[in-house]
């Protein structure tokens, strides 16, 4: 997992070990249930773990803030971010119970005490979060409808949604009517891993239901 150290030289040895172990656990789990696409398994460290950490290039979550990962599947991007930010509390949710079981098992195995996991639909979440992260769940307009009331009123810097998305987003962003800022991942990583991939940032205002 030298690739993580290359782009995040500040990580400790313990964090580096956790990333390596995460990679192993994903390989084991993927033999049982499809956590990530089977054709991607050899590229797990880049395509999935490093990609998730693209968010850490864009925002440094302050200690003791609350981050929600919606539609986390097998824990992406939430688990890599929880390793990166051990002082931040992460809540990982998905509507499918067996995926949450995988996330909880991995969090327990890695002793990630800053992670909780829950089977719940995005639309039913309480307004408790400074930040929301996600990857590849739904079109931005629909996704934002689900999560817009889950932000709390907060002074956390640059609070809002950080959504990992690929492809041409022009239409999707226009259709959403949202104010967004785009961070192109190829500006942060030398290799061409993330050609069209971006972090879409949508600032939150902490709306009432």
Ligand X SMILES: C[S@@+](CC[C@H](N)C(=O)[O-])C[C@H]1O[C@@H](n2cnc3c(N)ncnc32)[C@H](O)[C@@H]1O
Name the residue nearer to ligand X (CB basis): 6 or 98: 98
H/E run at residue 118: strand 115-119
76 is in an annotated binding site: yes
Q: Which residues of this chain interact with ligand X, rule CB under 6 A? A: 70-73, 76, 93-96, 99, 121-122, 135-137, 146
Closest approach of Cβ 3 to ligand X, in Å? 18
122 is in an annotated binding site: yes
Name the residue nearer to ligand X (CB basis): 88 or 164: 164
CA distance 6 to 11: 10
Is residue 165 within 8 A of residue 141, CB to CB? The reply is: no
208 is in an annotated binding site: no
Is residue 62 within 8 A of residue 156, CB to CB? The reply is: yes
209 is in an annotated binding site: no
Name the residue nearer to ligand X (CB basis): 62 or 104: 104
Identify the burial level of 100 via C-beta atoms within 10 angstroms of its C-beta, where 0-12 means exposed, 13-18 middle and 19 or more buried.
buried
Closest approach of Cβ 155 to ligand X, in Å? 28
Closest approach of Cβ 74 to ligand X, in Å? 6
The pair of structure tokens assigned to 106 is 């991995």
Is residue 188 within 8 A of residue 57, CB to CB? The reply is: yes
74 is in an annotated binding site: no
Name the residue nearer to ligand X (CB basis): 62 or 127: 127
CA distance 81 to 37: 20
> Which residues have C-beta within 8 Å of that of residue 130, sequence separation ≥ 6?
61, 65, 66, 67, 151, 152, 154, 156, 159
Closest approach of Cβ 43 to ligand X, in Å? 13
Name the residue nearer to ligand X (CB basis): 70 or 132: 70
Closest approach of Cβ 164 to ligand X, in Å? 7
Binding-site entries: 71, 76, 122-123, 135
Binding-site entries for S-adenosyl-L-methionine: 71, 76, 122-123, 135
């Amino acid at each position: 997992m030298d690739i993580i150290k290359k782009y995040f030289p500040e990580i400790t040895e313990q964090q580096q070990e956790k990333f390596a172990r995460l990679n192993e656990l994903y390989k084991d789990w993927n033999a049982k249930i499809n956590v990530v696409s089977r054709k991607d398994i050899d590229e797990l460290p880049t395509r999935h773990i490093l990609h998730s950490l693209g968010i850490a290039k864009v925002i440094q979550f302050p200690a003791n803030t609350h981050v929600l990962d919606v539609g986390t599947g097998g824990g992406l991007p939430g688990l890599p971010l929880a390793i990166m930010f051990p002082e931040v509390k992460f809540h990982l949710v998905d509507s499918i119970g067996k995926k949450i079981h995988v996330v909880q098992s991995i969090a327990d195995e890695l002793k990630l005490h800053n992670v909780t996991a829950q089977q719940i639909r995005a639309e039913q979440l309480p307004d408790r979060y400074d930040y929301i992260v996600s990857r590849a769940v739904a079109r931005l307009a629909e996704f934002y409808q689900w999560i817009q009331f889950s932000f709390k009123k907060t002074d956390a810097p640059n609070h809002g949604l950080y959504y990992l998305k690929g492809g041409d987003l022009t239409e999707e962003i226009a259709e959403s009517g949202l104010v967004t800022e785009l961070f192109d991942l190829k500006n942060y990583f030398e290799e061409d891993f993330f050609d069209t991939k971006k972090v879409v940032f949508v600032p939150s205002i902490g709306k009432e239901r």
